[in-house]
Amino acid sequence: MRWVTYRSSDGSERCGLVQGGKILGHTPGMTLLDVLRSGEGLEAAAALVTSNPAEIVDLAWADILAPIPVPPSVRDFAAFERHVAGAAGGTVSPVWYEEPIFHFSNPAAIRGPRDDVPVPPGTTAWDYEVEVAAVIADDCSDLDPATAESHIAGYLVYCDWSARDLSAREMGFVFGPSKSKDSATSLGPYLVTPDELEPHRSGKGYTLTMDGYVNGEPYGGGTWDEIHWSFGELLAHASRDTTLRAGDIIASGPVGTGCILELAGRRDYLTPGDTVRVEVERLGAVEARIVAKGDRLVPEMMISRSVLIAAPAAAVFDVIADPRRHGHFDGSGTVADTITGPARLTLGAEFSVSMVLYDVPYEVTNTVVEYEENRRIAWAHPGRHRWRYELAEVEGGTLVTETCDFTTSPWGERVAGSAWGRRDAEAIEQTLPRLKALIEDGA
């Protein structure tokens, strides 16, 4: 099962089960933490929302939050030997092999899987960490490493944002990291139950890749089964002489080369304007824009970009009006194949497209709502915003303007002001060069 926490159109925060590109919503105000604390378990909650969902929401347009927005506690371990050695210049303390080591992080600093992350003022070495985390299913104490994993409700992607310059000072004192790890931790997008991962089990982990990207460029990573301390061992250590609470977060620490600290001298630290993607196979990805503290995204209700294509307008329009070719020039990475629809779009035509988001396949049906042969075409998505292409013949060919228009949607301002608006702007900037190349190369 895959669970999410999202903000419904009525403003309530609630959890939901992901099925086929849809979210089967729980009752208003019912969070994943509430479900875990109820003692009924995720399977019982899944049976309820499957048989009688309070609402059904398209995953593609849901306002996704961290699965556990405010966990009771957060413990972040250092369970990957390759990371520990890389961060320490090749040496590992003998103490690390005797028992797993962790630090407490800040439950009030949790961010969602697409939230912006500000750089703390004065920090010059801002870093990400590629991690995976377990969510505790129930209150438990003094666990046995061999059976402790039975107390895991699910796993999620975890990104610990770190100020390495502050950390270098703090680690010289016996308390370990504090303010260097205090301002932001990104979680999500899903809580994935352990049964989904079981076919990939290997050694003390799973044969699942864990990777970090900055501005689309792969920086480093590894696989989950490299882990030295299993999650059973981490839970046993964390629960010794204390109680883990339902909803507590237990994080692995970075996989080897899963942070810029280990790439010192080869990669620059993060600065405002960078985009970071932390991805764990089968769990999805966290993607964050790095911003200066105090920056606020002003919603762009009509996101437009243009490109000059050296071809007549009719040739360009023929490609755009053929829904079977949309996947050939899509730059978002979400559009796959056209499932149903006419060979050529006209006003009122409907076409369905298979898509992938957060590693989940789903289907979207669009309706052509604006049409002027060789001049303009637009289709409405289920969210009622519009994708529009406008063509103007100019010297040297055709000026093509692609627009994502949120003004037509009742939820437009909220979506445009979220990370989705940024995603759509980036998608257009990738799509138009692909469209240009496709037409000018005669493909």
Chain segment 104-145, per-residue pLDDT in tens: 999 999 999 989 999 999 899 999 999 999 999 999 999 999
Q: Percentage of the chain with pLDDT > 70?
A: 94
Q: Please, which pLDDT band fits residue 421 given cuts at 50, 70 and 90?
A: low
- What CA–CA distance (Å, rounded) separates 3 from 257? 29
Summarize the confidence of residues 26-49 as an average pLDDT. 94
| pLDDT for position 63 | 85
H-assigned helices in 31-144: 32-38, 41-51, 81-87, 94-98
Q: Please, which pLDDT band fits residue 166 given cuts at 50, 70 and 90?
A: confident
The alpha carbon dihedral of 327, 333, 337, 341 has a sign of: negative
Q: How many CB atoms lie within 10 A of CB 89?
A: 7
| pLDDT for position 304 | 92
Report whether pLDDT(148) > 80.
yes
Give the model confidence (pLDDT) of 55-78 as tens digits.
998 887 788 999 999 999 999 999
Asked if 238 and 261 touch (Cβ cutoff 8 Å), the reply is no
Of 246, 278, 52, the closest CA to residue 154 belongs to: 246
- Residues near 332 by Cβ (< 8 Å), separated by ≥ 6? 423, 424, 426, 427, 430, 431
Asked if 423 and 300 touch (Cβ cutoff 8 Å), the reply is no
Report whether pLDDT(173) > 80.
no
Greater model confidence, 8 or 34:
34
Instruction: Strands of 224-373 (E only): list them.
Output: 243-244, 249-251, 275-280, 284-292, 302-309, 335-340, 350-357, 360-372
- What CA–CA distance (Å, rounded) separates 339 from 336? 9
Summarize the confidence of residues 358-382 as an average pLDDT. 87
Q: What is the bridge-based pairing of β-strands 22-25 and 205-206?
A: unpaired
Report whether pLDDT(443) > 60.
no
| Domains in the chain: ranges and CATH | 2-64 (no CATH), 68-292 (3.90.850.10), 302-440 (3.30.530.20)
Residue 141 phi/psi, 5-degree rounding, is: -140, 155
| pLDDT for position 293 | 87
DSSP, collapsed to helix, strand or coil, labels residue 413 as helix
- What CA–CA distance (Å, rounded) separates 363 from 361? 7
